[in-house]
Amino acid sequence: MSDISGADVLGYGADDAVVTGHLYQHFLHRTSIEGTTDFIRDYECGAVPALVGAFIDGVTCDGEAIEKMSAEDKVVMDKTMTAMRLALSERCKEPNFEGVDILFDDQADYYRMKAKALKNSTKESIAESAKVRKAKLKMSCFYEDQAEVADFKPWLPTVAGFNKITKLLGFPDFAKVSKPGIEDWFDELTPEQRKSQFARLIPPAHPSFVKRESDAYKELQKFCTDTLEELSPRITTGTELNLDSPNQNQALMYLLLGLPIRLRTKPTAKSLRDQYSLPGSPSTDSDAIETAMANDCEDHPWKKEFLENLLQYKTAATRFKNYWNVYPLWIAGNNKATSAEDSKVGIVHPGLNSCGTVTRRPTGSNPNLLQISKGETRDMFKAQDAGHVICSIDFSSQELRLNADECQDETWMSAYTGKVPKDLHALTGSRVVGTVLKKAGMTVTYPQNADGSMEYEFFTTLYKDAGHPLHEKIAESRSIGKTVNFSAQFGAQAATLSRNLMVPEEEAQDYLDAYNATFPGLAIWKKKVIAQAKIDGYVETAYGSRRHCPGINSKNGRERSRWERQVVNFKIQGTAADILKVVLTGLHRSKLLEATESYLIAPIYDEVLCEVPKKNLKEFLDGMCDLMSLTVPGGTIPMVPDCSFGPTWGQQTEVGTKPSQETIDKALESM
């Protein structure tokens, strides 16, 4: 820079700053016109300091917990792989040529276009490509037990054949296998080598090297074959189960197990499938496995057991890929330990992007804390010492509350308003209980509504009565109602609900029909949101944040449907993102973290994760509950925070909203 002129500096050296300034002015005018400038300045930007602080402070990661859980997952993978191979050996050794035809025909157009796209392709090369593919499928349509065998070709009395033996035995190589050549070879042998069985077998067998019929030749051949069998490198033969391979996964599910194709991958933009509007490849992910378990195993219980093992194996393998092989490296990279024991524990600093999704929720990276699955996996994150706890404050049924406020369905609203709010999941459960009882083969007379569903009051009475003969089915119905509520609010179809509940799609559709009958206002509201978005070209949250929807009026049905789903989802998820920004901004401005000597770890969707000194828990939880007990602009249903804490992120004790000091003390004693 010192060698260029001031004009060059302003014209080139400062181009990043100049462009940034222009972009700032552009978006300032744009957001001013849209009326979103104030929210962005006050809350989008206001939330950033809290996220920066979380990155700087980091969180304690426990390497010993990782070692323990990775060892447990290794056992799971070994056990499930053994069980799967045993099932395949017992059930899948006969070729499934019908499955080959189905899978070949299903993907024929894609592979034809793929072969056609190759340079210098011809009709003949395309046809040959199809033959090769079908031959590969035929080789994958039956199971062959694995075996460890010696890797060698049949022995022949040639120079190459003899020299394979000499290398294994440490003898000189042959130049020729004629009579003079053998005599020359003998001249190179040591006295001990001349006495060996190998050397003694060659002369009497030599006359039969051409016809290979004499007893002497057969004895030499057996010796050489046995030597190759014993000393050659070992290889494993049989069916490989590489569950990281998409092709092998397809062969496993659709050829060996013979499952029908129900789910497909989504074609990548501008890919060959996308360019020619070809369907996606048959899916082999967890959704496909769960769909098969729910719909295709009733007559084949062994397949369900196999798929359960497959799902367990893949889940454990994913944890290795995402956690067990990765987090020890983060610990090592950030560690300042002075002893071997301390080296297993370290502070990691997860990256946070304040506006990382289309709904403007934060995302994580390097490492991604938002990627950590619930349950025991979260035990790898712990408090820094015995005087601190990991504290989680999340919004209770946040999106359900927001949706009720938006659609104003009377039945839905009754779960959050009035002197005695109703149980939302029991409302849906009372509608689905008829299907549950019918499935169980039970004929029961009970108080009914006009549409034949069980009366809500009777349902809740039985739910509270653990001794009632129907209590178990009532509890099951409420559990189903809960899953339906969380799945259906964003438009889940029967296929998705089937996976979530592990029931056939027909049964899942019955539950969806019951849900829609319970909350008719939801469908009406969705239609209104979509219709308005088609007019405006954008959709707004309760706080006025916008998302533009350029494809909402597209002539392409697939694109139009995608945008219709997204505008409905944005109304709820975008508002939830706004609420989080309001809370994080309040957390920063209130100085609650500083006052209680606490640390923000990360916002995890609708959850705020912090590390708090035990002595300041009451003050911190009271402050967080005050920040999170808000009602969105124009809304009537308040958000309700739920608190929990524990020694790790995975081990949490729930203490409710604004817990008393007594409740907190009891929870601390139970840790």
Beta-carbon count within 10 A of 436 CB? 21
Both tokens of 583, joined, read: 């809370």
Looking at this protein, which amino acid is placed at residue 204? P
Distance CA 246, CA 282 (A): 10
* Closest to 354 in 3D by CA, of 602, 607, 606: 602
Distance CA 380, CA 66 (A): 6
From 202, 237, 272, the end of a domain falls on 237
- Which H or E run contains 195? none
- Residue 389: strand pairing partners: 612
pLDDT in the model for residue 340: 45
In a domain, 21, yes or no: no
Same-domain status, 564 and 445: yes
In a domain, 386, yes or no: no
* Domain encompassing residue 447: 409-573
Peptide bond into 447 cis (omega under 30): no
In a domain, 590, yes or no: no
Distance CA 423, CA 474 (A): 13
In a domain, 43, yes or no: no
* Closest to 255 in 3D by CA, of 88, 116, 384: 88
Cα torsion angle, 153, 158, 163, 165, sign: positive
Residue 607 has φ and ψ, to the nearest 5°, of -125, 140
- Which H or E run contains 207? none
Instruction: Decide: residue 287, CB within 10 A, 0-12 exposed, 13-18 middle, 19+ buried.
Output: middle
In a domain, 585, yes or no: no
Contact present, 250 and 191 (Cβ < 8 Å): no
pLDDT in the model for residue 10: 65
* Closest to 345 in 3D by CA, of 359, 334, 356, 358: 334
Residue 148 has φ and ψ, to the nearest 5°, of -95, 120
E strands, 396-523, are none
Q: Is 428 helix (H, G, I), strand (E, B) or coil?
A: helix
Q: What contacts 126, CB < 8 A, 6 or more positions away?
A: 112, 115, 116
pLDDT in the model for residue 269: 82
Q: Is 556 helix (H, G, I), strand (E, B) or coil?
A: coil
Regions of the chain short of the pLDDT cut 70: 1-2, 8-14, 334-343
Beta-carbon count within 10 A of 161 CB? 17
Same-domain status, 269 and 162: no
In a domain, 155, yes or no: yes
E strands, 326-438, are 345-348, 351-353, 363-365, 381-382, 388-395
For 157, half-sphere exposure in the C-beta direction (CA atoms, 13 angstrom radius) is 26
Distance CA 481, CA 563 (A): 28
Distance CA 136, CA 145 (A): 18
pTM value is: 0.83
Write down the H helix ranges in 465-504.
471-488, 494-501
SS (H, E, C) 574-586: HHHHHHHHHHHHH
pLDDT in the model for residue 370: 93
Same-domain status, 419 and 539: yes
pLDDT in the model for residue 336: 53
Same-domain status, 223 and 253: no
Same-domain status, 263 and 319: yes
Both tokens of 476, joined, read: 């099951």
Same-domain status, 422 and 514: yes
Q: What contacts 274, CB < 8 A, 6 or more positions away?
A: 267, 268
Distance CA 562, CA 150 (A): 56
Q: What contacts 500, CB < 8 A, 6 or more positions away?
A: 483, 487, 492
E strands, 489-553, are 538-540, 546-548
Distance CA 545, CA 262 (A): 38
pLDDT in the model for residue 1: 54
Distance CA 310, CA 85 (A): 11
Same-domain status, 142 and 187: no
Same-domain status, 461 and 542: yes
Same-domain status, 189 and 273: no
Mutual angle of helices 557-590 and 617-628, in 10-degree steps: 140
Same-domain status, 274 and 138: yes
From 190, 215, 237, the end of a domain falls on 237
From 324, 348, 378, the end of a domain falls on 324
Distance CA 401, CA 403 (A): 5
In a domain, 260, yes or no: yes
Distance CA 372, CA 370 (A): 6
443: domain CATH number is: 1.10.150.20
Contact present, 354 and 44 (Cβ < 8 Å): yes
SS (H, E, C) 617-653: HHHHHHHHHHHHCCCCCCCCCCCCEEEEEECECCCCE
Mutual angle of helices 286-295 and 301-319, in 10-degree steps: 160
Cα torsion angle, 154, 158, 160, 163, sign: positive
Distance CA 196, CA 7 (A): 90
Residue 394 has φ and ψ, to the nearest 5°, of -125, 165
Query: Which residue do the tokens 């004895």 mark?
Result: 219
Instruction: Decide: residue 286, CB within 10 A, 0-12 exposed, 13-18 middle, 19+ buried.
Output: middle
Same-domain status, 187 and 254: no
* Number of domains into which the chain is organized: 3
Contact present, 229 and 156 (Cβ < 8 Å): no
Same-domain status, 129 and 245: yes
In a domain, 615, yes or no: no
